[in-house]
Amino acid sequence: MAILQQILFIAALGATAWLIYQRVGIIGRTIRLGKDENRTDQPGKRLSIMMRIAFGQRKMFDRPLIGLLHFAVYAGFILINIEILEIVLDGILGTHRIFAGPLGSFYGVLIGFFELLALSVLISCSIFLVRRSVLKVERFQPVRHREMTGWPQLDGKLILVFEIVLMIAILTMNASDSALQDLGSAHYPVVGDFLISQWLKPLFAGWNEGALIAYERIAWWIHILGIFIFAVYLTYSKHLHIVLAFPNTYFSRLEPKGEMKNMPEITQEVKIMLGLEAQAGDAAVPERFGAKDVPDLTWKNLMDAYSCTECGRCTAACPANITGKKLSPRKIMMDTRDRLEEVGRNMLTNKGEFVPDNKSLLGDYILEEEILACTTCNACVQECPVLINPLDIILQLRRHKVMDEAHAPGSWNMMFQNLDTNQAPWKFSPGDRFNWASAVADSGPNGNSTAS
C-alpha cells in the first residue's frame, strides 16, 4: 500500500510540474509578443520598489484592516510552503514527518507556527468571503461592474473556499496525527501536540486506529493534491499575481506618473517640419501608430495584464466610472488578458506562431467609448497595489484610433486644428495670446477700469 501511494504521489507531482511548465511557456511567449522596452535601468531603485510594494505589501496597507488580512494570507502562502516541502519529500520517499528527527524539539515549535499561519489564513479568507457574498462590497458586484459577470465573480469566491478547505485539511490532519501518536501507531513518530490542532483532538475521541489512519491519509491527500491543483489553477486565474507581482513591480515605470511618453515617430516628424532635423532618406514608415492589438503593446503592458488582481481599486477611483461612463480600468486589463489568452490558444494551434485571426483588442474587446472617456488623471495608476498602468494601454489604443483611423470626436478635431494653426488648444491667434493680461491690467482689482 505504501509503494502504491508513492507511485501515485510521484505521478501527481510529475503531472503538476508538466502542466505548469506548459502553461508558463505559453504565458511567456504571449508576453514576448509585445514590443521591446528597456526597463533595466536603476536596478537598486527597482529592487527597493519591489521589496516595498510586492514583498512588503506597502500599498495594501493604504487600507489597514484589509492590508493586515491580505498580509496574513500572503505570509501564510509563502511560509507554509516550507511544510509543503516536507510533505513532498514524505510522498516521494514513503516516510512520515521526515524533518521531525533532524529538528528534534524545534519541530513542534515550527509546526505550531505553521498552524498559526494556517488559522490566520482560514480567518482572513472567511472574512473576505463574507465581504464578497454577504456584505457585497460594491466594486466586486456585477450589477455595477459588467466585467465582474460570470467567471470573474465565481473565481474570486472559489479560491477563497478552496483555501479554507486546504487549511481545514491541514489542521485536522495534524489533530488526527496527534491522536495516532497517543495510540502508539507505528508509522506516526511521537512529536507531541501542536499549537492549534490540539484543540481539535476531541473531534477524534473514540475513533479506532484504522479510522484515524484513514482520515489522516485522506486529509493528507486532500491537502497536497489541493496544493497541486491550486498551483496549476493559479496560472489560469487572476491569482497569477502571487508570482508576477514581483517582476511586475521591479519593472514598473520610474518616471513621474503625469509624464506622458511622446511617440518617437511623431517627434521626429515635428523636428523635420521645424528644420531641427534632416529628413532621412531610408527612414522607415511605422506600420501602425499606437496600438490596435496586443502585439502593438509593449511586453510590460502585457505583463501588467497577467498581473492584474481584479481588486477593482483602479475602477473605484476612476472619475469617469464614478460618473457613470463605460470606462473601467479593471476591465481594460481583464480584456487585455482575455485577448492574450485567445492569442495564446492561437499560438498553440499554430506551432508557437501567432496567425492573424481577424480580431483585435480594440473593437472586439475594448470599445471606443471606453477609451475616449479616460481623463488621463492617473487615479487608476496611483491606486494599483502592484503598480499596473492601465492608462498606458488606453493612450496607445486612443492614439491608434485618432492617428491611424482618423477617428476622433468633433471637439478633439477642433482642438487639433487650433493646435495646428494657433499653437494652442484655443481659437486665438498667437499674437492675441497675452491680450488677457492687458485686459486684467487695465481693470482694477474689482474689475473696474483704471483709465482716467
pLDDT (tens digit per residue) in 202-248: 999 989 999 999 999 999 999 999 999 999 999 999 989 999 999 99
Q: What angle do CA 32, 37, 42 make, to 5 degrees?
A: 120
Per-residue pLDDT tens digits for 239-288: 899 999 999 999 999 999 888 888 887 787 778 777 777 776 666 667 78
CATH architecture classification, 289-422:
Orthogonal Bundle (1.10)
What is the pLDDT confidence band of residue 451, given thresholds at 50, 70 and 90?
Answer: very low
Q: Does 450 score more than 60 pLDDT? A: no
Instruction: Pick from 77-86, 118-127, 286-295 the range whose average pLDDT is largest.
Output: 118-127
- Kindly list the domain boundaries of the chain, sorted by start residue: 2-250, 289-422
The full DSSP string for 404-451 is IS----HHHHHHHHHHHHHSSSSSS-GGGTTHHHHHHHHB-TTS-B--
Contacts of 167 (CB under 8 A, 6+ apart): 118, 119, 121, 122, 125
Half-sphere exposure (Cβ direction) of 310: Cα atoms closer than 13 Å? 27
CA dist., res. 251 & res. 38, Å (int): 9
With b for 16 or more beta-carbon neighbours within 10 A and e for fewer, the 110-135 pattern comes to bbbbbbebbbbbbebbbbbbeebeee
Q: How far apart are CA 248 and CA 299, in angstroms?
A: 11
Q: Is pLDDT of 84 > 60?
A: yes
Contacts of 144 (CB under 8 A, 6+ apart): 138
Percent of the residues in the chain that have a pLDDT greater than 70, as a whole number: 95
CB 60 within 8 A of CB 66: yes
**Residues above pLDDT 90, as percent of the chain:** 64
Q: What is the pLDDT of residues 339-383, one digit of tens each?
A: 999 999 999 999 888 998 999 999 999 999 999 999 999 999 999
d(CA 261, CA 391): 12
Cβ atoms within 10 A of the Cβ of 293, count? Answer: 22
Helix (H, G, I), strand (E, B) or coil at 298: strand
What are 111-134's pLDDT values in tens digits? Answer: 999 999 999 999 999 999 999 999
Q: How far apart are CA 72 and CA 440, in angstroms?
A: 60
User: How many Cβ atoms from other residues are within 10 Å of residue 36's Cβ?
Assistant: 8
Span 5-31, average pLDDT = 95
> Distance between CA atoms of 440 and 86, rounded to whole angstroms?
79
Average pLDDT, the chain: 89
pTM of the model: 0.87
Cell digits for 316? 473605484
| Residue 15 Rama label (left phi>0; alpha psi -120 to 50; beta) | alpha
Contacts of 170 (CB under 8 A, 6+ apart): 80, 83, 115, 118, 219, 223
pLDDT at position 452, please?
Answer: 40
| Cβ contacts of 304 within 8 Å, gap of 6 or more | 248, 333, 336, 388, 389, 390, 392, 393
The pLDDT of residue 19: 96
Q: For residue 14, how far is the Cα from the chain centroid? A: 27
In this predicted model, what pLDDT tens digit does every residue of 104-114 receive, in sequence order?
989 999 999 99
Query: Is 213 in contact with 180 (CB distance < 8 Å)?
Result: yes
pLDDT digits (tens, 9 = 90+) for 391-427: 999 999 999 998 888 888 888 888 888 888 887 888 7
